[in-house]
């Protein structure tokens, strides 16, 4: 099997290859003759753009990492309005950013095919929530496709462009972690050569088609969107992935979509009841094909709905059943047959199927007991910042500065990026709920206990301003964010802080790359998605242009200077921005930017005070028997900050 | 052959995901279906990584069911233990590298690393058996410490449980490792295979 970069553009229909779901989606778009794609990185969606970007210079279409999902959505929508096949991709939370344009674009629709791919994350492996974005497709009144494996991910993406052009509306593809970040066998199809010639006609089939305010106005365009629903319903009945397997005399059935259908199929086989149960596999969870669902319900006594996320199919099937077969018993997430939270797997699907068939699956209690015993042996492997991570320096300096000038109870507001690990806590440590009526200060044993709040991209700096205007007075206010997050979502909030006279410290940890999602370039990297050189934007310049008066840029490996800058900022009576600026350690190693230094640890001098352990670097070790710290020579990259942390001179840089 | 369920476990940076893709590609090249589910935490070096590989004629979903793994291939012993506890079949086998990569929790004295003896007892208590491979030493012998994954693939192939040819597996290794390391990886694979046959 050849290399992915070659496979993805190979025009060899029928060839079978292994593709990750995200790569398969990208391949589908390429087979459909894609003309433009824009996205912002977000796990588990990023590989869609990364894959497209490897192909775009060779095939001549445009790709970009946009500054955020909203911009990406609009860039792709602009392409589609001009008649060019366009795609945008994002993670679940990214969709929340695009809702404004999304809900309005559908009033006039598109001319070129527009495919919106959203990768949800049931079980919140990489996300701050488990939101089910299929509801957004229903909200915007456009069809949602949901693949069950990598092959379908490719086929559906290709199909979605045609469907989008037939309906003149964007089409939504909902992936999940177990599709996007799973791999499977994929048979390649033909790559369609399309001219993608941009055309513009402002009154195309409707007056002022691309301007909701232009006559006949938004309400008439809303009417048009409603008229399209009949066409959508018709399409759903004929979509190749809505497939009913119904045999005579079957009275039990499953309706399942996407990865849920794959789990359900495997579970049926595991339980050996494939012949007993009718199966409706849905490729369109919203809207469901009413006629096919109705046909199935008429011969059923009991059905189980297996879907990943919220019960959106279950709600629709219940509504259909009321009209065509009110006596059918419908099991699903609403009835507790399947859990309402977390993700499904074969075992959970099997539990649901057992309820459908009236069997009970009993656990092997002796085995469960043995398992519990074995689990006690398993040490956690906690997630940490990397050895040599510049954030370790930033967090250390912040902690020291807060200790010195932090008042009674400072508030540190977090944000999304590698540095969010500053709020992951320590494994094995119990954090009990408190019912205090006064502000409470908790010790910070390691950087992983620093962040007091954390929700979404760019959220921290806004929260900080609310805390200030609520007259919080028990300690200083801090917000942290990284460079990619700064450009993504923080600039309006910085302007707001200046305009509305907020105070507090905004600590920007600039490592010149979108590190957490896999080192994608951002506006301060100097490279585009395809590796082309581009202008480097400087965060200090941007902050200055936003009217910030107190700005300091420091090197987070210089702990003293960083601590001093933070202390000054905390004492300042102005809104203050401190930028800790240093390239991500993994990137620096890759680009061989490190001077090869070696750390030397003197055990005789070590007092066992554990200050270096509190730095949080994974290369620092501590022997509980000898009560001495040490350095793991394999993990250590020789950044040298631990030497500055040790007050006894036990750690030195070998010269 | 109906189905092979395999989990390749290790620490971020050891190449367990690549190893799982190599196995899946070899299976596909020989006409089988393959699914790989990657389970890993935040995108960071040194985290726990496990890749589920399902091969067969009818496999649909990418995750191995509870107590469903025929083989757990561990590039690191603790990660082997972490995965066998929920996934190893009653008569399954854990093939594990014996060289630990200590987690930060152990490094700073917050947790204890289980002994190889304890790991073996744990697997046996759940009905499985253990095959130990000094993969780190073999990788060094092969001339590249970073070929632990290929050593372990060699050990996996030596079980005779893979439903496809050695040639397909070797070709998948050649196609997927960095070009400069092809020879070292093939050598590592062959040494890993030979170790098991001793």
**Is A378 part of the contact surface with chain B (CB cutoff 8 Å)?**
yes
- Rounded to a whole number of angstroms, the distance between the first and last alpha carbons of chain A is 48
**Is A538 part of the contact surface with chain B (CB cutoff 8 Å)?**
no
- All residues of chain B having their beta carbon less than 8 Å from the beta carbon of residue A183 are 21, 24, 34-36, 38, 62
Give how many domains chain A has, as a whole number: 4
Together in a domain, A296 and A430:
no
pLDDT in tens, A234-291: 999 999 999 999 999 999 999 999 999 999 999 999 999 999 999 999 999 999 999 9
Say if A293 falls within a structural domain: yes
Domain's final residue, options A558, A587, A616? A587
Residue A295 above 90 pLDDT?
Answer: yes
Token pair listed for A568:
């000054």
Say if A381 falls within a structural domain: no
- Which of A88-97, B51-60, B101-110 has the least mean pLDDT? B101-110
Together in a domain, A75 and A222:
yes
Report in angstroms the alpha-carbon separations of A261 from A62, A236, A329. Answer: 35, 17, 20
SS3 state of residue B187? helix
Report in angstroms the alpha-carbon separations of A290 from A208, A337, A430. Answer: 34, 23, 50
Report in angstroms the alpha-carbon separations of A633 from A175, A597, A607, A620. Answer: 41, 11, 20, 9
Together in a domain, A234 and A255:
no
Token pair listed for A248:
């005579």
Write out the residue range of the structural domain in which residue B150 sits.
3-197
Nearest residue in A to B49, CA atom: A381
Pick the residue of B49, B63, B136 with the most A CBs within 10 A to test the interface with A by mutation. B63
A345/B61 touch (CB, cutoff 8 Å), yes or no: yes
Residue A224 to residue A243: CA distance in whole angstroms: 30
Together in a domain, A494 and A603:
no
**Is A614 part of the contact surface with chain B (CB cutoff 8 Å)?**
no
In this structure, the strands spanning A36-39 and A86-91 are: parallel
Which residues, other chains included, contact B90 with Cβ-Cβ below 8 Å and sequence gap of 6+?
B67, B126, B127, B128
Together in a domain, A336 and A483:
no
CB A505 within 8 A of CB A478: yes
Rounded percentage of chain A residues whose pLDDT exceeds 70: 99
- Residue A342 distance to chain B (closest CA, Å): 15
Q: Give residue B2's pLDDT.
A: 74
- Rounded to a whole number of angstroms, the distance between the first and last alpha carbons of chain B is 27
Together in a domain, A435 and A509:
yes
Residue B42 above 60 pLDDT?
Answer: no
Say if A69 falls within a structural domain: yes
**Is B167 part of the contact surface with chain A (CB cutoff 8 Å)?**
no
Whether omega for the bond prior to residue A287 falls within 30 degrees of 0, making it cis, is yes
pLDDT in tens, A509-532: 999 999 999 999 999 999 999 999
Together in a domain, A200 and A234:
yes
Pick the closest to residue A613 from A377, A384, A378, A379 (CA basis): A384
- Residue B198 distance to chain A (closest CA, Å): 31
Residue that the structure tokens 């006064």 belong to: A438
Say if A384 falls within a structural domain: no
Domain's final residue, options A211, A238, A265? A238
Residue A305 above 70 pLDDT?
Answer: yes
Q: Give residue B194's pLDDT.
A: 96
CATH number (domain holding residue B149): 3.40.920.10
CB A418 within 8 A of CB A391: yes
Residue B126 to residue B87: CA distance in whole angstroms: 10
pLDDT in tens, A461-506: 999 999 999 999 999 999 999 999 999 999 999 999 999 999 999 9
Together in a domain, A217 and A247:
no
A265/B62 touch (CB, cutoff 8 Å), yes or no: no
Residue B44 above 70 pLDDT?
Answer: no
Say if A538 falls within a structural domain: yes
pTM higher than 0.95: yes
Write out the residue range of the structural domain in which residue A396 sits.
390-587
pLDDT tier, A409 (very low <50, low <70, confident <90, very high otherwise): very high
Q: Give residue B13's pLDDT.
A: 85
pLDDT in tens, A345-400: 999 999 999 999 999 888 899 999 999 999 999 999 988 999 999 999 999 999 99
Together in a domain, A134 and A66:
yes
- All residues of chain B having their beta carbon less than 8 Å from the beta carbon of residue A17 are 25, 28
Containing B195, the helix (H) or strand (E) segment is helix B182-197
Which letter, b or e, does each residue of A594-622 get, where b requires 16 or more Cβ atoms within 10 Å of its Cβ?
A: eeeeebebeeeebeeebbbbbbbbbbbbb
Together in a domain, A572 and A637:
no
A418/B175 touch (CB, cutoff 8 Å), yes or no: no
CATH number (domain holding residue A276): 3.40.50.920
Query: What average pLDDT does chain A have?
Result: 96
Give how many domains chain B has, as a whole number: 1
Say if A291 falls within a structural domain: yes
**Is B85 part of the contact surface with chain A (CB cutoff 8 Å)?**
yes
Which letter, b or e, does each residue of A376-388 get, where b requires 16 or more Cβ atoms within 10 Å of its Cβ?
A: ebbbbbbbbbbbb
**Is B184 part of the contact surface with chain A (CB cutoff 8 Å)?**
no
CA A649 to chain centre: 43
Q: Give residue A634's pLDDT.
A: 82
CATH number (domain holding residue A136): 3.40.50.970
Which letter, b or e, does each residue of A36-66 get, where b requires 16 or more Cβ atoms within 10 Å of its Cβ?
A: bbbbbbbbbbbbbbbbbbbbbeebebbbbbb
B43/A613 touch (CB, cutoff 8 Å), yes or no: no
CB A396 within 8 A of CB A467: no
For B108, the closest of A149, A377, A621 (CB atoms) is A621
Say if A374 falls within a structural domain: no
Token pair listed for A108:
């006039």
**Is B79 part of the contact surface with chain A (CB cutoff 8 Å)?**
yes
Say if A448 falls within a structural domain: yes
Q: What percent of chain B is helix, strand and coil (3-state, nearest 5)?
A: 45, 25, 30
pLDDT tier, B39 (very low <50, low <70, confident <90, very high otherwise): confident
Together in a domain, A204 and A327:
no
Q: Give residue A341's pLDDT.
A: 97
CATH number (domain holding residue A640): 3.30.70.20
For B44, the closest of A184, A383, A632 (CB atoms) is A383
Tell me how many helices (H) and strands (E) chain B has. Answer: 8, 6
Together in a domain, A468 and A565:
yes
pLDDT tier, B140 (very low <50, low <70, confident <90, very high otherwise): very high
The residues in A 429-488 lying below 8 A from B, measured between CB atoms, are none
User: Taking residues A144-169, what's their average pLDDT?
Assistant: 98
Torsions phi, psi of A215, nearest 5?
Answer: -60, 140
């Amino acid at each position: 099997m050849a290399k992915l970069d070659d496979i993805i553009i190979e025009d060899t229909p029928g060839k079978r290859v292994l593709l990750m779901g995200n790569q398969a989606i990208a391949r589908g778009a390429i087979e459909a003759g894609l003309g433009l794609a824009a996205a912002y990185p977000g796990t588990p969606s990023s590989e869609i753009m990364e894959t497209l970007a490897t192909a775009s210079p060779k095939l001549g279409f445009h790709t970009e990492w946009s500054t955020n999902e909203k911009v990406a959505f609009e860039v792709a929508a602009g392409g589609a309005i001009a008649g060019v096949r366009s795609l945008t991709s994002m993670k679940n939370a990214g969709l929340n950013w695009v809702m404004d344009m999304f809900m309005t674009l559908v009033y006039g629709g598109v001319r070129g095919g527009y495919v919106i791919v959203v990768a949800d994350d049931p079980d919140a492996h990489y996300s701050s929530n488990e939101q089910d974005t299929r509801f957004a497709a229903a909200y915007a009144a456009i069809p949602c496709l949901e693949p069950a494996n990598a092959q379908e991910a490719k086929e559906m993406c290709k199909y979605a462009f045609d469907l989008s052009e037939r309906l003149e509306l964007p089409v939504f593809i909902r992936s999940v972690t177990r599709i996007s970040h799973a791999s499977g066998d994929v048979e390649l199809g033909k790559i369609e050569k399309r001219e993608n010639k941009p055309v513009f006609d402002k009154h195309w089939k409707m007056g002022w088609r691309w301007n909701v305010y232009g006559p006949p106005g938004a309400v008439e365009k809303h009417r048009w969107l409603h008229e399209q629903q009949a066409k959508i319903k018709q399409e759903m009945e004929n979509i190749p992935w809505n497939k009913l397997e119904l045999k005579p005399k079957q009275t039990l059935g499953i309706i399942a979509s996407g990865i849920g259908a794959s789990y359900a199929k495997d579970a049926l086989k595991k339980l050996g009841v494939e012949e007993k149960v009718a199966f409706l596999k849905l490729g369109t969870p919203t809207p469901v094909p009413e006629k096919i669902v109705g046909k199935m319900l008429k011969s059923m006594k009991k059905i189980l709905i297996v879907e990943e996320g919220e019960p959106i199919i279950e709600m629709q099937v219940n509504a259909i059943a009321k009209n065509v077969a009110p006596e059918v018993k419908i099991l699903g997430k609403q009835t507790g047959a399947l859990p309402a939270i977390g993700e499904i797997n074969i075992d959970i699907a099997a539990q649901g199927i057992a309820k459908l068939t009236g069997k009970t699956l009993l656990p092997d209690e002796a085995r469960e007991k043995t398992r519990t015993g074995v689990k006690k042996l398993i040490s956690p492997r906690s997630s940490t910042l990397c050895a040599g991570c510049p954030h370790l320096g930033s967090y250390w300096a912040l902690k020291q500065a807060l200790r010195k000038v932090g008042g009674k109870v400072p508030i540190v507001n977090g944000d999304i990026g590698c540095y969010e690990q500053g709020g992951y806590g320590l494994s094995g440590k119990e954090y009990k709920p408190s019912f205090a009526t006064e502000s409470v200060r908790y010790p910070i044993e390691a950087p992983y206990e620093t962040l007091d709040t954390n929700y979404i991209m760019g959220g921290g700096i806004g929260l900080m301003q609310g805390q200030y205007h609520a007259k919080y007075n028990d300690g200083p206010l801090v917000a942290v964010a990284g460079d990619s997050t700064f450009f993504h979502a923080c600039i309006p909030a910085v302007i707001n802080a200046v305009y509305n006279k907020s105070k507090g410290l905004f600590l920007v940890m600039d490592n010149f790359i979108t590190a957490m999602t896999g080192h994608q370039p951002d506006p301060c990297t100097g490279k585009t998605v395809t590796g082309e050189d581009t202008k480097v934007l400087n965060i200090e310049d941007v902050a200055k242009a936003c009217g910030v008066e107190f700005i300091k840029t420091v090197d987070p490996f210089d702990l003293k200077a960083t601590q001093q800058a933070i202390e000054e900022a905390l004492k300042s009576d102005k809104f203050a921005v401190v930028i800790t600026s240093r390239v991500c350690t993994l990137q620096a190693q890759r680009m061989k930017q490190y001077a090869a230094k070696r750390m030397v640890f003197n055990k005789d001098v070590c007092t066992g005070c554990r200050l270096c352990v509190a730095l949080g670097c994974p290369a620092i070790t501590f022997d509980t028997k000898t009560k001495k710290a040490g350095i793991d020579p394999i993990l250590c990259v020789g950044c040298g900050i631990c030497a500055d942390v040790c007050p006894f001179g036990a750690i030195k840089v070998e010269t | 052959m109906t189905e092979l369920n395999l989990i390749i476990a290790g620490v971020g940076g050891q190449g367990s995901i690549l190893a799982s893709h190599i196995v899946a590609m070899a299976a596909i090249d020989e006409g089988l279906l393959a699914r790989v589910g990657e389970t890993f935490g935040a995108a960071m070096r040194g985290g726990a990584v496990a890749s589920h590989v399902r091969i067969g004629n009818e496999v649909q979903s990418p995750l191995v069911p509870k107590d469903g793994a025929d083989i757990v291939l561990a590039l690191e012993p603790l990660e082997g233990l972490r995965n066998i506890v929920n996934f190893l079949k009653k008569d399954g086998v854990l093939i594990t590298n014996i060289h630990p990569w200590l987690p930060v929790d152990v490094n700073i004295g917050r947790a204890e690393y289980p002994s190889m003896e304890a790991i073996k007892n744990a697997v046996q208590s759940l009905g499985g058996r253990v095959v130990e491979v000094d993969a780190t030493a073999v990788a060094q012998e092969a001339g590249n410490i970073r070929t632990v994954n290929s050593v372990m693939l060699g050990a996996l192939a030596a079980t005779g449980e893979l439903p496809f040819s050695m040639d397909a597996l070797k070709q998948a290794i050649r196609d997927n490792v960095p070009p400069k390391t092809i020879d070292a990886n093939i050598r590592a694979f062959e040494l890993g295979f030979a170790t098991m046959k001793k």
